[in-house]
């Protein structure tokens, strides 16, 4: 008996659009429960099928906005922030923006540095507003790279701004504190998780004086957006936005597992870890999902909370 064939890209696109279309073309999603049920179905599609962006490039931006629950886009508000000009940390922003995904041709063709600077300036102004109830974020290291996928994916700068702002303020506020407290907590959690999930690899790296703080800082800071190629980063972010950015820690461990043989044989593993191999999102996601089952519940709970729990 022949096995059923996997769905084609066109079929996958239809499955996404059938659910996403309910939000935009009718009033069927009347209640929060309806939205939650739609999101549950969409998350499953992300995990099982992945987004067929080659067939329908509109699916990813629509899905990201729904996952972030970004509905209200005020062009007037954004233009008001932009009209205020350079924010007080503009020089710091400029020092980073020219390096953002600098070797990625696709990104450089679509996203100009001025767009990135303008969005980051506006974000700082949004959080400097005395009338705002927001906790007063400012620009910190890594924000330029975290903004990059939104500017590349969204149809407009306006949509990118509101998605990025919501993402930072709701999903990973601890990562953008002045001390980067969430990033450092994520690195410590990476070490603790690796020790449980692969004690042999953990011991080998520690014997070479290697901790996550040394080899995984960029990957934690940028949620792996620093590892090319960009289309694979976007596929990984589909997963992180759908299931939680805390899973990025396990995605980094998954990358270590994929290069495990080389790391274990190497007398200088840092040479291999200085530049991670090109990202294979599907393989990384598959391993990361399997790893969740092997973590103690209390450690996994800590992992879940670390991107949004601000302690200082």
pLDDT given at position 134: 63
pLDDT given at position 199: 98
Query: What are 141's two structure tokens?
Result: 């290291």
How many Cα atoms within 13 Å fall on the side-chain side of residue 62?
18
pLDDT given at position 26: 41
Which residue is listed with tokens 């949509």? 159
Contacts of 17 by beta carbon, 8 Å cutoff, 6+ apart? 56, 59
pLDDT given at position 3: 47
Which residue is listed with tokens 């009347």? 30
> Is-above-0.85 flag for pTM?
yes
pLDDT given at position 7: 81
pLDDT given at position 124: 97
Distance, CA of 307 to CA of 183 (rounded, Å): 8
Query: What are 290's two structure tokens?
Result: 């399997």
pLDDT given at position 5: 54
What confidence tens digit (pLDDT) does each residue in 32-55 have?
Answer: 888 899 999 999 999 999 999 999
Cα distances (angstroms) measured from residue 298 to each of 138, 189, 287, 301, 307: 32, 12, 21, 5, 16
Q: What percent of the chain has pLDDT over 70?
A: 93
Write down the mean pLDDT value for the chain: 94
Backbone angles phi, psi at 111, to 5 degrees: -115, 115
pLDDT given at position 312: 62
Contacts of 157 by beta carbon, 8 Å cutoff, 6+ apart? 78, 115, 118, 119, 151
Contact in structure between 20 and 62 (CB atoms under 8 Å):
yes
pLDDT given at position 29: 57
Please give the chain's pLDDT, 312 residues, in tens.
444 456 899 999 999 999 998 755 344 556 888 889 999 999 999 999 999 999 999 999 999 999 999 998 999 999 999 999 999 999 999 999 999 999 999 999 999 999 999 999 999 999 987 655 566 799 999 999 999 999 999 999 999 999 999 999 999 999 999 999 999 999 999 999 999 999 999 999 999 999 999 999 999 999 999 999 999 999 999 999 999 999 999 999 999 999 999 999 999 999 999 999 999 999 999 999 999 999 999 999 999 999 999 886
């Amino acid at each position: 008996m022949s096995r059923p064939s996997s769905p084609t890209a066109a079929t996958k696109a239809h499955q996404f659009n059938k659910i996403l279309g309910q939000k935009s073309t009718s009033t069927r999603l009347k209640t929060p429960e309806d939205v939650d049920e739609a999101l549950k179905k969409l998350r499953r599609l992300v995990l099982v099928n992945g987004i067929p962006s080659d067939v329908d490039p509109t699916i990813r931006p629509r899905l990201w906005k729904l996952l972030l629950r970004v509905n209200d886009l005020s062009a007037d508000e954004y233009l008001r922030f932009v009209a205020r000009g350079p924010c007080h940390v503009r020089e710091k922003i400029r020092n980073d923006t020219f390096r953002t995904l600098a070797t990625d041709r696709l990104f450089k063709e679509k996203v100009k540095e001025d767009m990135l600077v303008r969005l980051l300036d506006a974000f700082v102004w949004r959080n400097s507003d005395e009338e705002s109830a927001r906790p007063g974020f400012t620009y910190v290291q890594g924000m330029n790279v975290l903004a990059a996928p939104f500017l590349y994916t969204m149809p407009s700068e306006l949509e990118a701004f509101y998605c990025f702002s919501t993402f930072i303020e709701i999903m990973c506020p601890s990562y953008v504190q002045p001390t980067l407290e969430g990033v450092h907590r994520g690195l410590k959690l990476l070490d603790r998780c690796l020790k449980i999930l692969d004690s042999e690899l953990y011991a080998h790296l520690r014997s070479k004086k290697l901790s996550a703080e040394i080899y995984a800082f960029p990957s934690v800071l940028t949620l792996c957006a620093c590892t090319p190629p960009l289309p694979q980063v976007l596929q990984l972010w589909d997963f992180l936005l759908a299931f939680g950015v805390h899973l990025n820690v396990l995605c980094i461990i998954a990358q270590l597992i994929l290069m495990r043989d080389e790391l274990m044989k190497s007398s200088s593993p840092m040479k291999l870890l200085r530049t991670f191999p090109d990202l294979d999102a599907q393989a990384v996601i598959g391993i990361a999902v399997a790893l969740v089952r092997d973590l103690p519940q209390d450690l996994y709970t800590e992992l879940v909370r670390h991107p949004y729990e601000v302690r200082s």
